[in-house]
Amino acid sequence: MAKYVAFLRGINVGGNKMVKMDDLKRAFEALKFQKVKTLLASGNVLFETANGNDTGLGVKIAEKLKSVFGFEVGVLVRSIEELQRLANSKPFEKIKATPQTRLYTTFLSEKPKIALKIPFKPADKDFRILRASKDEVCIVLTLSPSTQTIDLMAFLDKHFGRQITTRNWNTIVKILKG
């Protein structure tokens, strides 16, 4: 059995696309996935399956969620092995955390059309992109009067498209702990 995590985009945010985690778990179990577990209400679902590839799984899950909940949900699937490789690369190793520091990973559904010189820092915002690959973007955000999380999300949507989803690094660590 291969272990995966499905990252769902935009559920339970600002009172929109509300999904109860028990209902989400049942939807995944209806797809015959094993050991289904949700983590946080932001749409992280761990599961195991004997067959499938990341792309095929995402499409299958998105279709099921639309039929169950009545609205489209963006789904990006990563294997636990892929997440472990990301963690092993220690993308935030040299970052000094403060109470204002946020470490994020944005998962991409396709290779980005934008090429940034890494590390990238916009002149008017307090965030840095430390890494950008075909699969993910690793970002450090320092909360300030000029920059909040919403500013980063707007930048990411504009430059990497809307078929992405972002997670706090702490969430990735929790997922890997199982």
* Final residue of a structural domain among 60, 83, 106: 83
Give the pLDDT score at 53: 64
Give the pLDDT score at 164: 95
Where in the sequence is the domain holding 138, given as residue range(s)?
91-177
Torsion (CA) 132, 133, 137, 139 in degrees, nearest 10: -40
Instruction: Please check whether residues 101 and 78 belong to one and the same domain.
Output: no
Report which of 160, 51, 157 is spatially closest to residue 113, judged by C-alpha positions.
Answer: 160
Cα dist from 103 to 52, 94, 95, 129, 164, whole Å:
31, 12, 9, 10, 16
Separation between Cα atoms, residue 162 and residue 177, nearest integer Å: 29
Average pLDDT over residues 33-45: 95
Instruction: Please check whether residues 101 and 171 belong to one and the same domain.
Output: yes
Give the count of domains, the chain: 2
Query: 55 pLDDT exceeds 70?
Result: no
57-105 pLDDT, tens digit each: 999 999 999 999 999 999 999 999 999 999 999 999 999 889 999 999 9
CATH number for 59: 3.30.70.1280
Has this prediction a pTM greater than 0.85? yes
Instruction: Please check whether residues 110 and 49 belong to one and the same domain.
Output: no
Mean pLDDT of the chain: 92
Average pLDDT over residues 141-146: 92
Query: 48 pLDDT exceeds 90?
Result: yes
